[in-house]
Amino acid sequence: MVEFTLTKEQQLAQKLFRDFAENEIRPLAREMDETEEYNMELLEKMKKLGFFGIQYPKELGGEGADTLTYTLCMEEVSKVDASTGITISVHASLGCMLLEKYGTEYQKEAFLRPLIDGRKVSCIALTEPSAGTDASAIKTTAVRDGDHYILNGQKVFITNSGFADIFFIFALTDRAAGGVKGMSLFVLEKGMSGLEVSKNIPRMGIRAAQNCEVTMIDVKVPAENLVGVENKGYKLAMEAFGSGRIGIGAQAVGIAQGALNEVIKYTKERKQFGKTIASFQNTQFKIAEMQTKIDAARFLVWRAAKAKDNHEDYASYAAMCKLFASDVAVQITRDCVQLMGGYGYSREYPVERMYRDAKITEIYEGTSEAMRMIVAGKILK
Amino acid sequence: MKIVVCIKQVPDTTEVRLDPKTNTLIRDGVPSIINPDDKSGIEAALQLKEQCPGSTVTVLCMGPPQADVALREALAMGCDEAILLSDRAFGGADTWATSSTLAAALKKIGYDIIITGRQAIDGDTAQVGPQIAEHLGLPQISYVENIQVESEDTLVVQRQFEGFYHIIEIKTPCLLTALSQLATPRYMTVHGVMDAYREKEVKLWTLADIEDTVDKANLGLKGSPTRVMKSFTKQAKGAGTVLKDLSDDEAVAAIIAKLQEKHII
């Protein structure tokens, strides 16, 4: 069935996310961007309210909501701060999702429960200096040694690694077989000997997110921390990022809507040639076009979320929503800066930050080019 | 302790629109919120519950069916029980009819502490709370800024009084009217939202549920002795006059002259 309205509980959850974003995140967003530091008090508040376990069952420690409700959270927080969006998304939609689906009872109790009940935060590490879109090219290794695996390697651009308690690490357990057939997933914990995290990598946008290099030198990991079956990790990686894209789509919608909301407010106040710039047809047409694109992107996100909740094959829906929404976010934030002119370019207003933040949505968790490959692959198979 | 908080759903705007024919509020199309003083009352009640294990917080609202969402929000903040008093017979009520209806429901619910907001941002009367206390024959303290539990049946309450505070000891059962300063309302939680719709319920009470505790002559528009003579939207005043380059004495003299001219003094 086609649904374009939210249920009452989704609407009330949306109000919670919106109120929190406006009152708690908005006042900190600019400072966090400028200092490139995430505010840890803010993180703690969100953990307590359940923002880090929205789409997980209560029995496992989660909040018992659905994926669509999670996208509402992603959109509302990203309207005011995309860094907060990615912080939640990386935690909630990748490693946790894999543990819920493939984790052992021990792993669910020891790792998943504290992650989704708000005690701990996670990151997931696939990307390496020489393995981006071609994830199969990873070089990190995990060598079995009795009851343990010994991990060695270097990961890069790992969001949340700066403050994560749990690290989901992809490593080769069969080097000869290569990434697709020889990769496995492990749960590592902060403080394990040989696990090192670098400083935040300087970036163009989402600067408050903690995105660092993770290095492993002879890290001894208990064999019971292997997630799923040995050498079947590539499929897990693809599945995790396939699911994560729904959140990135929602983040992109949030960035675009947040920027447009700023522009609507501004153009109603700003006067040129004796009247508000909102009264010029150019502005009106532009705003109408932008809202139309955002709504279209949002519905693609909701379709993907709904398909996931209904246990349908959502991979191409997720790829489409990310492809379209990220493109919309980049276009719209650029146009919003243009409509606000010099003020849009100034750091006094948030749209310049949103313009910088939007770009990454076309890159991470699968580039737009990779999204086109997935969508075309589904259509042409 | 059984704590009952009375809340009102109000339009989220200072621009209240009135129906010129009935002189009542037009709610359609205006986003609604829990009245801010009432929301502080909810927070204070939840804090009292946390201090006194075994306590429960019931939230009571009289309003149209769409007030359900205000009660769900209160449940999502952590209240245990919610009751919506909704019946055509209650419609168009002034403060007298409203307090009569709420008091009738409160008699059925039972209470140790009743908390209401000081006043609603739409009507601004500050009458309903004190009237409920009178209907129920309860001691009351209005404009409450702080509540401390002294013993099982005694509270120590700080109330705002012009430029001062009163510190008052009060025995339960009692009624308190809350100021926004009393407590900063907590956020709902995500699982609270889910529980509010899946685990908890908003009980709908109609006239039939309170028939035996209320005099029907005191209900709704017919039971409202207040008659609104006229309602109108405030007109914006003209631009003020700026008096420049005056000494302090000249400025004072000019202001006094202006006030006299307008017959204000």
Structure tokens given for B89:
């017979």
Nearest Cβ partner for B190 among A8, A19, A50: A50
Residue B43 has pLDDT above 80, yes or no: yes
**Per-residue pLDDT at B15:** 58
Query: Is the domain covering A122-231 a CATH 3.30.565.10 domain?
Result: no
Among A8, A16, A1, which Cα is nearest to A309's? A1
The answer to whether residue B253 sits within a structural domain is no
Which contiguous run of DSSP H or E holds residue B198?
Answer: helix B190-198
Count of C-beta atoms within a 10 Å radius of residue B195: 20
Nearest Cβ partner for B191 among A11, A50, A73: A50
Interface test with chain A among B32, B73, B77, B187, by most A beta carbons within 10 Å: B187
**Per-residue pLDDT at B82:** 98
Per-residue pLDDT for chain A (381 aa), expressed as one digit of tens each? 577 899 999 999 999 999 999 999 999 999 999 999 999 999 999 999 999 999 999 999 999 999 999 999 999 999 999 999 999 999 999 999 999 999 999 999 999 999 999 999 999 999 999 999 999 999 999 999 999 999 999 999 999 999 999 999 999 999 999 999 999 999 999 999 999 999 999 999 999 999 999 999 999 999 999 999 999 999 999 999 999 999 999 999 999 999 999 999 999 999 999 999 999 999 999 999 999 999 999 999 999 999 999 999 999 999 999 999 999 999 999 999 999 999 999 999 999 999 999 999 999 999 999 999 999 999 998
Contacts of A173 (CB under 8 A, 6+ apart): A141, A142, A143, A144, A149, A182, A183, A184, A230, A231, A233
Task: Report d(CA B192, CA B74) in Å as an integer.
Answer: 9
Exposed, middle or buried by CB within 10 Å (0-12, 13-18, 19+), for B124?
Answer: exposed
**Topology of the domain covering A235-380:** Butyryl-CoA Dehydrogenase, subunit A; domain 3 (1.20.140)
Amino acid code (one letter) for B131: Q
The answer to whether residue B228 sits within a structural domain is no
Which contiguous run of DSSP H or E holds residue B155?
Answer: strand B154-161
Interface contact B69-A19, CB threshold 8 A: no
Domain that holds residue B147: 2-218
**Per-residue pLDDT at A98:** 97
**Per-residue pLDDT at A1:** 55
Interface contact B193-A8, CB threshold 8 A: no
* Residue A84 phi, psi dihedral angles, 5° rounding: -65, -40
User: Which residues of chain B have a CB within 8 Å of the CB of A54?
Assistant: 190
Q: Where are chain A's structural domains? A: 8-116, 122-231, 235-380
**Per-residue pLDDT at B14:** 58
Task: Report d(CA A107, CA B32) in Å as an integer.
Answer: 44
> How many domains are there within chain B?
1
C-alpha of B173 from chain center? 19
Partner A contacted by B33 (CB < 8 A): no
Contacts of B28 (CB under 8 A, 6+ apart): none
Interface contact B198-A9, CB threshold 8 A: yes
User: Which residues of chain B have a CB within 8 Å of the CB of A15?
Assistant: 73, 188
Domains A8-116 and A235-380 share a fold: no
CA distance A304 to chain B (A): 21
**Per-residue pLDDT at B61:** 97
Interface contact B188-A12, CB threshold 8 A: yes
Position B16 confidence tier, pLDDT thresholds 50, 70, 90: low
Please answer whether residues A96 and A27 qualify as being in contact, where contact means their C-beta atoms are separated by less than 8 angstroms: no
B238: which DSSP letter?
A: P
Nearest CA in chain B to A46: B189
Task: Report d(CA B45, CA A361) in Å as an integer.
Answer: 44
Nearest Cβ partner for B76 among A12, A54, A64: A12
Structure tokens given for A342:
């010099």
Interface contact A12-B187, CB threshold 8 A: no
Residues 50-69 of B with CB under 8 A from A: 69
> Quick one: CA dihedral A317, A319, A322, A323, positive or negative?
negative
Structure tokens given for B157:
């309450």
Interfacial residues of A (vs B; Cβ cutoff 8 Å): 8-9, 11-13, 15-16, 19-20, 48-51, 53-54, 58, 63-65, 69, 73
* Residue A335 phi, psi dihedral angles, 5° rounding: -65, -35
Partner A contacted by B102 (CB < 8 A): no
Interface contact A64-B197, CB threshold 8 A: no
> Quick one: CA dihedral A262, A263, A267, A270, positive or negative?
positive
CA distance B47 to chain A (A): 17
User: Which residues of chain A have a CB within 8 Å of the CB of B187?
Assistant: 16, 19-20, 49
Please answer whether residues A362 and A327 qualify as being in contact, where contact means their C-beta atoms are separated by less than 8 angstroms: yes
3-state secondary structure of B156: strand
What is the number of alpha carbons within 13 Å of residue A341 lying toward its C-beta? Answer: 8
Among A245, A315, A234, which Cα is nearest to A93's? A245
Task: Report d(CA A29, CA A45) in Å as an integer.
Answer: 15
Among A187, A141, A184, which Cα is nearest to A165's? A187
Write out pLDDT tens, residues A234-283.
999 999 999 999 999 999 999 999 999 999 999 999 999 999 999 999 99
Write out pLDDT tens, residues B109-124.
999 999 999 988 887 7
The residues of A assigned a catalytic role are 365
Exposed, middle or buried by CB within 10 Å (0-12, 13-18, 19+), for B248?
Answer: exposed
Write out pLDDT tens, residues B74-92.
999 999 999 999 999 999 8
Interface contact A49-B198, CB threshold 8 A: no
Write out pLDDT tens, residues B214-252.
999 999 999 999 887 777 666 667 778 888 889 999 999
User: Which residues of chain B have a CB within 8 Å of the CB of A12?
Assistant: 69, 72-73, 76, 188, 193, 196-197
Give me the CATH code for the A8-116 domain, please: 1.10.540.10
The answer to whether residue B229 sits within a structural domain is no
Interface test with chain A among B72, B194, B199, B202, by most A beta carbons within 10 Å: B194
Task: Report d(CA B36, CA B121) in Å as an integer.
Answer: 8
**Per-residue pLDDT at B243:** 83
Interface test with chain B among A8, A12, A23, by most B beta carbons within 10 Å: A12
Interface contact B191-A48, CB threshold 8 A: no
Residue B17 has pLDDT above 80, yes or no: no
The answer to whether residue B51 sits within a structural domain is yes
Sequence-ordered alpha helix ranges (H) in chain A: 8-20, 26-35, 40-49, 67-80, 82-90, 96-102, 105-107, 113-116, 178-182, 233-269, 281-309, 315-345, 351-359, 368-380
Structure tokens given for A369:
């080019």
> Quick one: CA dihedral B193, B195, B198, B201, positive or negative?
negative
Interface contact B190-A65, CB threshold 8 A: yes
End-to-end CA distance of chain A: 26
Structure tokens given for A130:
């020489």
The answer to whether residue B258 sits within a structural domain is no
CATH number for the domain spanning B157: value is 3.40.50.620
CA distance A69 to chain B (A): 9
User: Which residues of chain A have a CB within 8 Å of the CB of B185?
Assistant: none
Nearest CA in chain A to B188: A16
